[in-house]
Amino acid sequence: MTPDKDYAVPDIDTAVLDVVIVGGGPAGLTAGIYASRGRLSTVILERNMAGGQIALTELVENYPGFPEGISGFDLSEKMKSQAVRFGAELREVEAVTSLRREPDGLYSVVTDQGTLLTRSVILAPGVEAKRSGIPGEAEFIGRGVSWCATCDGPLYRGRTVAVVGGGDSAVEEGMFLAKFAEKVYLVHRRNELRAAPIAQERCFASPKFEFVWDCIPLRIDGDQAVEALEVENVKTKEVRRLPVNGVFMYIGQLPNTSWLKGIVDLDDQGYIVTDGHLQTKLPGVFACGDAHANPIKQIAMAVGEGALAAVQAQRYLDALACALPGAATAAGGTAAAPA
Ligand code: NAP
């Protein structure tokens, strides 16, 4: 997608930007669409490739506007080109390491490649899969241990895999793996799933699933590659060895916020705490998406919050511009935030 001819982000290494968005998943990209359409000079920083978790999702069925579903990759590509079209500068493979409020009220966003100066910040760093920490998990990464069924599923054609967890990720990714694998063990620590009912119905109907209830993973064994997952029944303490070629762990997610400790408020699980207008305790710093302490982790929620965060940033910048006599408008203006 070609960016708008009328508008381009100024030289981002020297200019004071209107908004820097940290994270290029659905929340960050939506914030980018709204901010750049609002003619704010906007940079989106993404430590990997834009798209976040959805880029690794085979099929998204519950995002409005796509009655047949859409591949997560295609959806993220559309969001990305929409943000870039309106002038947002997307910098991929650039990780933010710190955020600092300067004495003049501007923010320095420090990355592994430099420092950007901005009037406002939108935090949308997303989440990553939680590790179980069991023996063999780290050792067999890339040799049978994976968190991405979409990426690695085809490698398990005709083979046997275990999926650990009972949430939407475990069940949906397990269903995807069942397209290739001969058998899928679903190992869950309780005897009922947490996943959405429609997802549960589908996997209960699949002849490829064997449910291993009330069990937690103990260790992953193998020689050159994964050969077995050992699980323990939490009620009987019986240990069972499942002969598998692959193990996919979906036991929850962790927000990518360790770098924000002491900078904004985080809850006891590391999610970013904001007020009702998505502002953190720092003026002009907003948070949205899966890393925000919100009640549901859904793409629709993330894009809604991304839109709101951008509108709030615009209002913040407008208020700044009004507060400073002689200051230009927020977009492309020269006013600094009050300290
Ligand atoms: P989740 O909902 O937190 O589920 C994690 C699962 O792992 C739970 O079943 C949990 O068991 C189990 N678990 C947690 N810690 C464990 C441990 N130490 N050992 C063994 N099992 C453990 O995580 P998720 O499935 O990744 O989903 C995260 C969020 O994204 C959710 O809000 C979900 O709805 C959302 N999501 C939505 C979609 C969609 O809408 N299509 C797709 C994927 C994810 P318990 O049930 O006993 O707690």
Query: Tell me, what's the pLDDT at 334?
Result: 42
For atom 28 of ligand 1, the residue with the nearest CA is 252
- Residue 132 DSSP code: -
With beta carbons less than 8 A apart as the criterion, state whether 23 and 68 touch: no
99 alpha-carbon distance from chain centroid: 19
Q: Which atom of ligand 1 has the smallest separation from the CA of 61?
A: 41
70 CA distance to ligand 1 middle (Å): 22
Under DSSP, is residue 245 helix (H, G, I), strand (E, B) or coil?
coil
pLDDT in tens, 197-229: 999 999 999 999 999 999 999 999 999 999 999
Alpha helices by DSSP H, listed for 86-234, are: 149-152, 168-177, 197-205
pLDDT, mean of residues 302-323? 95
296 CA distance to ligand 1 middle (Å): 12
Task: Give dist(CA 45, CA 206) in Å, integer.
Answer: 41
Q: pTM above the 0.75 mark? A: yes
pLDDT, mean of residues 49-54? 90
Q: pLDDT > 70: what percent of the chain?
A: 91
pLDDT, mean of residues 316-338? 63
Query: Tell me, what's the pLDDT at 11?
Result: 62
The secondary element (H helix, E strand) that includes residue 64 is: none
Query: Tell me, what's the pLDDT at 120?
Result: 98
Task: Give dist(CA 217, CA 233) in Å, integer.
Answer: 9
Ligand 1 pocket, Cβ-based, cut-off 6 angstroms: 62, 132, 164-170, 172, 189-190, 194, 216, 250-253, 296-298
pLDDT in tens, 63-102: 999 999 999 999 999 999 999 999 999 999 999 999 999 9
CA nearest 184: which of 168, 201, 160?
Answer: 160
Q: Which residues contact 207 (CB under 8 A, 6 or more apart)?
A: none
For atom 38 of ligand 1, the residue with the nearest CA is 168
198 CA distance to ligand 1 middle (Å): 15
pLDDT in tens, 235-285: 999 999 999 999 999 999 999 999 999 999 999 999 999 999 999 999 999
Q: Which residues are tagged catalytic?
A: 148, 151-152
Residue that the structure tokens 């430099």 belong to: 114
* End-to-end CA gap in the chain: 39
Mean of all residue pLDDT scores within the chain? 92
Q: Domains in the chain and their CATH numbers?
A: 16-128+253-323 (3.50.50.60), 131-249 (3.50.50.60)
User: Per-residue confidence at 10, pLDDT binned at 50, 70, 90?
Assistant: low
For atom 16 of ligand 1, the residue with the nearest CA is 251
For atom 2 of ligand 1, the residue with the nearest CA is 167
73 CA distance to ligand 1 middle (Å): 21
Query: Tell me, what's the pLDDT at 217?
Result: 98
